């Protein structure tokens, strides 16, 4: 637990495992019909409660164990919110595809409507995390959620503005309408800005990791560097032709047969 390298490998494993676990639950809910996604979200509320408790309990403690606890607690909170989105329990008021050739401002409003409730929930949790965590002895959880939130916003904006690759394999039917609000296009200035910002964040965490004076600080910065690097990788997967879906395809149950042959925007990791 005191090794920052083990901490980084743990972050990598949790990214893969937690993503796979959420995708399995979503796939099973699809097979069980309407309402299963909402029931799964409610049944998973203890995960959210444990995450909130762990985040609060870790704020005043330091050391490698506290860094791990804060990181895991935030992942529990983030995972529940992600599950609520992918099951269709908390998305937005707009559940219709975007008509072709609409004005850009209409396209933006329609796209916002598909994720409005989810985005407002994330923003409220971000504010709560900062209100309770700013100035605390242990800020690993605070910065973990902040990095996840920032990377999620830039990823969604890139899908809206346009990127060359949009993985369509794992998005559930509850979100099938979202595909019409995103665009396949050459990567532009916003993608370059996103990659630059995330790269600078990784460099910042690595610099602090190498200059950390205490083992707990080194572990915390290693966790932050790892999760930010994974977010950076997820952005690169929007332009690089890499078969990232193979990481989870083998572990998922077969989808329920459907008339649909296409799916909307893909989902990589947290």
H helices, E strands: number in the chain: 9, 0
The DSSP code for 163 is B
- Residue 184 pairs with which residues in a beta bridge? 163
Tens-place pLDDT, residues 138-168: 999 999 999 999 999 999 999 999 999 887 6
What is the phi/psi pair of residue 163, to 5°?
-140, 160
Angstrom distances, CA of residue 97 to CA of 84, 110, 193, 212, 259: 20, 9, 29, 49, 17
Q: What is the mean pLDDT of the chain?
A: 86
DSSP string, 177-241: GGGGG--B----HHHHHHHHHHHHHHHHHHHHHHT-SSHHHHHHHHHHHHHHHHHHHHHHTTTS-
Statement: residue 58 has pLDDT above 90:
yes
Helix or strand holding residue 149 (H, E):
helix 140-161
What distance in Å separates the CA atoms of residue 15 and residue 250, rounded to the nearest whole number? Answer: 16
Going by pLDDT thresholds of 50, 70 and 90, the confidence category of residue 35 is: confident
Is residue 63 over pLDDT 70?
Answer: yes
Query: Binning pLDDT at 50, 70 and 90, where does residue 29 land?
Result: confident
Place of tokens 């895991």: 72
**pLDDT at residue 125 above 70?**
yes
């Amino acid at each position: 637990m005191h090794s920052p390298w083990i901490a980084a490998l743990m972050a990598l494993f949790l990214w893969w495992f937690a993503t796979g676990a959420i995708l399995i639950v979503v796939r099973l809910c699809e097979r069980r019909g309407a309402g299963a996604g909402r029931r799964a979200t409610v049944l998973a509320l203890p995960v959210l409660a444990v995450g909130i408790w762990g985040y609060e309990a870790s704020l005043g403690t330091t050391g490698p164990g506290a860094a791990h606890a804060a990181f895991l607690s935030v992942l529990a909170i983030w995972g529940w919110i992600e599950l609520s989105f992918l099951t269709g329990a908390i998305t937005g008021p707009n559940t219709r595809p975007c008509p072709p050739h609409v004005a850009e401002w209409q396209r933006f409003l329609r796209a916002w409507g598909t994720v409005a409730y989810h985005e407002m929930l994330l923003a409220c949790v971000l504010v709560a995390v900062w209100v309770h965590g700013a100035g605390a002895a242990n800020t690993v959880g605070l910065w973990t959620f902040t990095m996840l939130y920032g990377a999620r916003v830039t990823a969604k904006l890139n899908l809206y503005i346009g990127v060359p690759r949009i993985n369509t394999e794992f998005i559930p039917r509850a979100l099938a309408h979202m595909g019409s609000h995103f665009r396949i296009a050459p990567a532009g200035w916003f993608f370059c800005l996103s990659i630059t910002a995330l790269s600078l964040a990784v460099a910042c965490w690595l610099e602090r990791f190498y200059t950390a004076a205490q083992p707990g600080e080194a572990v915390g910065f290693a966790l932050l560097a790892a999760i930010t690097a994974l977010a950076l990788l997820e952005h690169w997967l929007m332009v690089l032709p890499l078969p990232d879906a193979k990481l989870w395809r083998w572990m998922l149950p077969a989808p329920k047969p459907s008339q649909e042959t296409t799916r909307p925007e893909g989902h990589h990791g947290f």
